[in-house]
């Protein structure tokens, strides 16, 4: 068993599950979406991106692209959250919360794509 592949797979799946945990719930209700869960999803997603940097295969390039998309979406959600609370001081209205969760949903789709690609790569791998 390749320990490096285990760590790689662990962070990809963890990024997906943390993002899913933040995403799930009523889209407009801020009580269903925890800021610390979003922060954890961002951190783990960035770690997964760094782990993908060494790949030199075509599927590795696609995995990196999906990870960068997830990072961008999650960071945009965090910026929107912070600006709603501290810059514009509008707070987490249903409209703002819906936008934040929608950005997280885009990242969730990118993370799901990464996991599917990882499974495909694992199944097609020859010994």
Averaged confidence pLDDT in the chain: 93
Q: pLDDT for 81-127, tens place per residue?
A: 999 999 998 999 999 999 999 999 999 999 999 999 999 988 887 76
Query: At which residue do the structure tokens 């509008």 appear?
Result: 90
Do residues 55 and 49 make contact, with C-beta atoms less than 8 angstroms apart?
no
Least confident of 6-10, 55-59, 73-77: 55-59
């Amino acid at each position: 068993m390749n320990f490096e592949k285990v760590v790689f797979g662990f962070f990809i799946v963890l990024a997906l599950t943390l993002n899913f945990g933040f995403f799930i719930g009523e889209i407009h209700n801020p009580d269903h979406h925890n800021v610390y869960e979003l922060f954890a999803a961002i951190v783990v997603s960035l770690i997964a991106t760094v782990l993908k940097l060494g790949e030199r295969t075509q599927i590795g390039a696609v995995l990196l692209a999906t990870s960068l998309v997830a990072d961008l979406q999650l960071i945009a959600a965090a910026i929107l959250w912070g600006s709603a609370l501290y810059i514009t001081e509008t707070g987490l209205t249903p409209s703002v919360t819906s936008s934040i969760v929608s950005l997280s949903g885009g990242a969730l789709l990118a993370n799901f794509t990464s996991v599917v690609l990882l499974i495909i790569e694992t199944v097609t791998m020859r010994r």
